[in-house]
Amino acid sequence: MGFGKTSAILMMIVVILVAISCHSGVEATRVLKEDFASGNQHQTYSAIYEKAKYTMDLWLQKLPSGSSPSGPGH
């Protein structure tokens, strides 16, 4: 085995060991006030989805229709 292969293997081992040693659990930074497991969760997400869909429809209507202008870069 040449020096290049040996150093590459050692570097990979070091990177793996560092990744394993740095792995730690993540804790919550703030507590949620609402209970997201409640029965009205579906209704809340449905309302948000409908509002987002409506907003996207408005944005898409504002886009120009037709072919793009010809010229450099098109």
Tens-of-pLDDT digits for all 74 residues of the chain? 567 788 889 999 999 888 887 766 666 667 666 665 565 555 667 788 888 899 998 888 888 776 667 766 65
Please list, in sequence order, all residues whose beta carbon lies within 8 angstroms of the beta carbon of residue 74, skipping any fewer than 6 positions away: 68
* Nearest-angstrom CA–CA distance, 36 and 47: 15
> Does 67 fall in a domain?
no
68 close to 74: Cβ distance less than 8 angstroms: yes
Is 55 a member of any domain? yes
Biggest CA-to-CA distance, the chain: 65
Determine, yes or no, domain membership for 43. yes
Q: The tokens 């793996």 sit on which residue?
A: 16
Task: Give pTM, 2 decimals.
Answer: 0.32
User: Among candidates 62, 32, 36, 63, which has minimal Cα distance to 48?
Assistant: 36
The confidence score (pLDDT) of residue 48 equals 83
11: containing domain:
3-62
Tell the residue number behind the tokens 């886009």, with chain if given: 63
In a domain, 68, yes or no: no
Question: How many structural domains comprise the chain?
Answer: 1
